[in-house]
């Protein structure tokens, strides 16, 4: 073995294992235009499906006439709810325990709702067919404002639920009410408020937005009548779950359904759910006997397949005069649109919103969430965040700033005063979570020092004085955020989707010549799993990452997994890889002991092989051990070297971080300039620092967009205002700020490699940092809370309301 002549550093470097800034494997194909995305797929005889959609937000469907459409050249079939009823698929179950119309059954509940599905020889003919379908509507009164949905005289939106006084999550108090979910000790919290020296209360709204990956939701369904087998290629973040749902709905046995997720052009939560397009493509393929492709256009994407947020959080904090928090009380009004299709674990209709106590040591807290129906699109997905965690982080981080303002305290000082201390971990939060690890003071102090916080505050004071003297028309804001996330759903004791425990999985096969394949239940949408997962294998079993192929997205070859969303890949699937690799290493140790003629316990692992303790020259490298597993296994041992792990995490992981934004706002134009944005992340063990940094850049850019303008807005009659990239704010390279990244490392004590996940942290922590900067800029003029998004126009309006333009 020539490994003997390499230094330890050289051997380690050769592996490109954990901690290495390994260049991405995926990029070889992506940079050459050789990615394999859904719309690239071309099957023989493939047809194309397109939707007729509702013009109205709430209307009765009086008549659908498809006769003209059926005669359009190239059109082969037109599906409506009537056809779907024949196969019992006019409605489908949602992940949230509700049902949703696949095609409009008698009425429509939101603009652009699916009414009919036109199947044609190509996408142009399908569009012609869509034009030719006639729909007669009777308009109904519309509810857009969730605060009006439970008025006594509010129109009934869901006639199918008439008389149902309870839903999937308990009692319904009104015909437009979905659920009430509560957590925490109400009596103790109320008592804390009753005796509090200081309290704050503010309605903090997190507006409706959309994940909007650059590739929309798409699929190709192909039903083989002879074999009775269905293959669905799709932009699925959770391919196995889609297979199970497809089997339950279609009654096709699960082993005869093949779900394939090829390369996915971004997901951000948009591609977790099951959408009418998938169902219609499947039915159309069964009806026509040909493969059917369905590809959303951008307007359809923004207005129908999922939304995010729309949480209206009445946030109260109780505290002592010297700034020690004593209680937290939050009531949320959650706008779920026309159907409750939120992508949350079954028992958590408000996701993990109970992380709202944040990074602070609240002795008591209470949360109540009311979910309501409105005439808006269904969805409620976690847009690059764990489930409802960004909403929670926004509420508490704005709340802490508002409290600091009321106390006349510096917001950094208030946070430092109330942080959970390092020695308190594992920490039991007032709302029932067990935070695994953290060192908040170190992270916060590092961040404050890095930006020169004291000097910034001094500059701000001087600038405010200059502003008062009329010497400048610019306001300076410093936005702090210290977030704690809860990711990696989740332990089977409390997390499931459709009854499926939220484990994840990995199968590793090591080939005789020493290379390997790892197959996963998760599914990358750009996170670089093919690169990073191989690094975990490399570090665990000493096979160079370049010799490990990672395969995801094929339900026939991969072990069952729940997929990639809610930052669960590293915490759950990443753990499964390590555990599968360790099974392999254990067997390798037995083989090495046999080869070296010692007892297993005499061996120690050393980078890429086993060494006899105290005898450094007695060494067997993995390559030799692997060959022996196939060539001459020890007597009585099964040949081969492979392992499967289904990892059921014992707890969630709790990444955290300190973000600081410095912003200047011109009050005469409302134009803001992000002068500086510093992001310190602690995601535990760092697998690939290059990819972590890339994830943070991307997440911060999304946070910037959301906080500063990105919004799905409706007018009074339920028209989507700005449902294309003309109006929906996606920042270009020009307006995107430059990002400074930093880190501390506090490993998770319960995760096999100590990693916590990072992809969503910047979205969760970024939004409050931007919003706090805007609020901080105006606060000395008497504002306490300015609602997002903070675009130039709204900033100008704030200045106008404050009389600054006089």
- Pairwise CA distance, residues 569 & 564, whole Å: 6
The total number of residues shown for the chain amounts to 806
Active site annotation includes 237: yes
Going by their DSSP bridges, the two strands 713-714 and 720-721 should be labelled as antiparallel
Tokens 């394999």, located at residue: 36
Catalytic residue from among 20, 217, 280, 385 = 385
Nearer to another protein, 185 or 735 (CB): 735
User: Nearest approach, Cβ of 27 to another protein (angstroms)?
Assistant: 4
Strand order in the sheet with 257-260: 75-79, 114-120, 47-53, 292-295, 218-224, 229-234, 257-260
Helix, strand, or coil (residue 14): helix
- Pairwise CA distance, residues 452 & 446, whole Å: 10
* 23, 148, 173, 801: residue in contact with another protein (rule CB under 8 A): 23
How many residues bind to another protein according to rule CB under 8 A? Answer: 57
What does the per-residue mask of binding to another protein show for 295-334, with x meaning CB under 8 A?
A: --xxx-----------------------------------
- Pairwise CA distance, residues 224 & 600, whole Å: 52
User: Nearest approach, Cβ of 210 to another protein (angstroms)?
Assistant: 11
What does the per-residue mask of binding to another protein show for 669-708, with x meaning CB under 8 A?
A: ---------------------xx-xxx-xxxxxx------
Nearer to another protein, 32 or 166 (CB): 32
Q: Which of 566, 114, 94 is nearest to 341 (CA)?
A: 94
* 94, 231, 525, 539: residue in contact with another protein (rule CB under 8 A): 525
Q: What is the largest CA-CA distance in the chain?
A: 91
151 binds another protein (CB under 8 A): no
- Pairwise CA distance, residues 650 & 432, whole Å: 15
- Residues 354 to 413: which contact another protein by CB under 8 A? none
Catalytic residue from among 296, 316, 624, 760 = 760
Q: Alpha helix locations (H) across 16-122?
A: 27-30, 67-70, 81-86
- Residues 58 to 97: which contact another protein by CB under 8 A? 73
- Pairwise CA distance, residues 391 & 330, whole Å: 12
- Pairwise CA distance, residues 387 & 181, whole Å: 15
Backbone angles phi, psi at 330, to 5 degrees: -130, 130
User: Nearest approach, Cβ of 225 to another protein (angstroms)?
Assistant: 26
* 35, 93, 97, 650: residue in contact with another protein (rule CB under 8 A): 35
- Pairwise CA distance, residues 745 & 755, whole Å: 9
- Pairwise CA distance, residues 40 & 43, whole Å: 10
269 binds another protein (CB under 8 A): no
CA atoms within 13 A on the CB side of 222: 14
Count of other CB atoms within 10 angstroms of residue 377? 30
- Judged by CB under 8 A, the stretch of 207-215, 309-317, 327-335, 601-609 that binds another protein is 207-215
Nearer to another protein, 559 or 563 (CB): 563
- Pairwise CA distance, residues 167 & 179, whole Å: 7
* 1, 13, 29, 454: residue in contact with another protein (rule CB under 8 A): 29
* 1, 10, 13, 30: residue in contact with another protein (rule CB under 8 A): 30
User: Nearest approach, Cβ of 790 to another protein (angstroms)?
Assistant: 19
* 2, 738, 782, 803: residue in contact with another protein (rule CB under 8 A): 738
Nearer to another protein, 693 or 760 (CB): 693
Active site annotation includes 385: yes
Nearer to another protein, 215 or 682 (CB): 215
User: Nearest approach, Cβ of 481 to another protein (angstroms)?
Assistant: 17
N-terminal to C-terminal alpha carbon distance within the chain: 82
User: Nearest approach, Cβ of 626 to another protein (angstroms)?
Assistant: 30
Catalytic residue from among 113, 237, 589, 695 = 237
Nearer to another protein, 25 or 575 (CB): 25
Strand order in the sheet with 603-605: 603-605, 609-612, 615-621
- Pairwise CA distance, residues 159 & 176, whole Å: 10
131 binds another protein (CB under 8 A): no
45 binds another protein (CB under 8 A): no
Nearer to another protein, 399 or 528 (CB): 528
- Pairwise CA distance, residues 280 & 113, whole Å: 13
User: Nearest approach, Cβ of 228 to another protein (angstroms)?
Assistant: 30
Nearer to another protein, 733 or 806 (CB): 733
- In the numeric block, which tokens belong to residue 584? 């392999």
44 binds another protein (CB under 8 A): no
Q: Which helix (H) or strand (E) holds 649?
A: none
16 binds another protein (CB under 8 A): no
- Judged by CB under 8 A, the stretch of 278-286, 455-463, 549-557, 718-726 that binds another protein is 718-726
User: Nearest approach, Cβ of 657 to another protein (angstroms)?
Assistant: 16
Q: Which of 511, 746, 475 is nearest to 622 (CA)?
A: 511
Helix, strand, or coil (residue 772): helix
Q: Which of 169, 272, 242, 760 is nearest to 488 (CA)?
A: 760
- Pairwise CA distance, residues 719 & 576, whole Å: 46
Active site annotation includes 471: no
- Residues 278 to 297: which contact another protein by CB under 8 A? 297
Active site annotation includes 800: no
Residues in contact with another protein by CB under 8 A are 23-24, 26-35, 37, 39-40, 42, 73, 123-124, 212-216, 263-266, 268, 297-299, 525-528, 690-691, 693-695, 697-702, 724-726, 730, 732-734, 736, 738-739
Catalytic residues: 237, 384-385, 760
């Amino acid at each position: 073995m020539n490994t003997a002549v390499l230094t330890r550093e050289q051997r380690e470097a050769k592996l490109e294992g954990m901690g290495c800034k390994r260049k991405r494997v995926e990029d070889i194909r992506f940079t050459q235009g050789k990615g394999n995305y859904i719309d690239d797929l071309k099957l023989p005889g493939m047809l194309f499906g397109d939707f007729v959609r509702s013009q109205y937000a709430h209307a009765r469907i009086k008549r659908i006439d498809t006769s003209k459409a059926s005669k359009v050249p190239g059109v082969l079939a037109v599906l409506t709810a009537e056809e779907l009823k024949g196969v019992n698929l006019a409605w489908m179950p949602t992940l949230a325990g509700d049902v949703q119309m696949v095609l409009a059954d008698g009425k429509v509940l939101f603009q652009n709702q699916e009414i009919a599905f036109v199947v044609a020889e190509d996408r142009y003919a399908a569009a012609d067919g869509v034009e030719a379908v006639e729909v007669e509507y009777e308009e109904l009164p519309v509810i857009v404002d969730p605060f009006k949905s439970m008025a006594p005289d509010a129109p009934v939106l869901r006639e199918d639920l008439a008389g149902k006084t309870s839903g999937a999550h308990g009692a319904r108090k009104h015909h437009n009410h979905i659920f009430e979910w509560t957590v925490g000790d109400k009596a103790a919290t109320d008592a804390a408020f009753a005796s509090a020296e200081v309290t704050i209360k503010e309605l903090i709204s997190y507006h409706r937005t959309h994940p909007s990956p650059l590739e929309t939701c798409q699929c190709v369904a192909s039903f083989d009548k002879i074999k009775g087998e269905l293959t669905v290629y799709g932009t699925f973040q959770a391919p196995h779950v889609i297979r199970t749902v497809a089997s339950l709905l279609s009654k096709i046995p699960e082993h005869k359904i093949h779900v394939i997720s090829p390369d996915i052009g971004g997901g951000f939560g948009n591609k977790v759910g099951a959408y009418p397009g998938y169902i219609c493509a499947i039915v159309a393929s069964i009806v026509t006997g040909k493969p059917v492709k369905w590809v959303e256009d951008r307007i359809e994407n923004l207005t129908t397949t999922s939304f995010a947020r729309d949480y209206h959080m009445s946030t109260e904090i109780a505290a002592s005069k010297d700034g020690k928090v004593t209680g937290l009380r939050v009531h949320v009004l959650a706008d779920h649109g026309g159907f409750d299709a939120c992508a949350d674990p079954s028992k958590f209709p408000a996701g993990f919103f109970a992380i709202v106590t944040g990074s602070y040591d609240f002795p008591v807290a209470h949360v109540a969430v009311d979910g309501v129906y409105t005439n808006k699109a269904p969805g409620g997905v976690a847009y690059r965040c764990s489930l409802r965690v960004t909403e929670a982080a926004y509420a508490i981080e704005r709340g802490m700033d508002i409290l600091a303002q009321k106390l006349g305290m510096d917001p950094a000082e208030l946070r430092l005063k109330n942080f959970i201390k390092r020695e308190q971990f594992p920490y039991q939060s007032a709302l029932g979570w067990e935070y695994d690890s953290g060192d908040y003071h170190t992270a916060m102090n590092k961040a404050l020092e890095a930006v020169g916080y004291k000097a910034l505050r001094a500059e701000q004071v001087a600038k405010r004085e200059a502003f008062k003297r009329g010497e400048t028309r610019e306001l300076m804001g410093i936005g702090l955020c210290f977030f704690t996330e809860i990711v990696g759903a989740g332990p089977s004791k409390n997390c499931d989707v459709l009854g499926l425990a939220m484990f994840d999985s990995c199968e590793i096969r090591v080939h005789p010549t020493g290379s390997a394949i790892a197959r996963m239940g998760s599914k990358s949408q750009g996170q670089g799993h093919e690169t990073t997962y191989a690094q975990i294998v490399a570090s665990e079993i000493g096979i160079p990452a370049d010799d490990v192929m990672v395969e995801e997205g094929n339900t026939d070859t991969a072990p069952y997994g729940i997929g990639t969303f809610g930052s669960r890949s590293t915490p759950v699937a990443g753990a499964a890889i390590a555990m599968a690799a360790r099974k392999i290493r254990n067997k390798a140790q037995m083989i090495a002991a046999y080869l070296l003629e010692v007892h297993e316990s005499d061996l120690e692992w050393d980078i890429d092989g086993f060494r006899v303790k105290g005898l450094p020259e007695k060494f067997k490298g993995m390559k030799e051990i692997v060959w022996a597993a196939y060539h001459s296994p020890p007597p009585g041992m099964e040949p081969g070297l492979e392992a499967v792990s289904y990892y059921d995490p014992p707890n969630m992981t709790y990444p955290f971080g300190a973000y600081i934004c410095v912003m200047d706002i011109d009050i005469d134009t409302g134009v803001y300039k992000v002068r500086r944005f510093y992001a310190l992340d602690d995601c535990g063990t760092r697998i690939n620092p290059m990819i972590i940094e890339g994830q943070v850049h991307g997440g911060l850019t999304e946070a910037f967009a959301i906080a500063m303008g990105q919004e799905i807005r409706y007018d009074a009659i339920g028209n989507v205002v700005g449902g294309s990239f003309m109006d929906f704010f996606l920042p270009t390279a020009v307006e995107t700020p430059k990002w400074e990244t930093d880190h501390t490392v506090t490993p998770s004590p319960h995760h096999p490699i100590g990693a916590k996940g990072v992809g969503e942290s910047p979205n969760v922590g970024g939004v409050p940092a931007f919003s706090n900067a805007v609020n901080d800029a105006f606060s000395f003029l008497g504002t306490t809370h300015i609602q997002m998004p903070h675009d130039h126009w709204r900033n100008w309006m704030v200045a106008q309301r404050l009389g600054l333009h006089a």
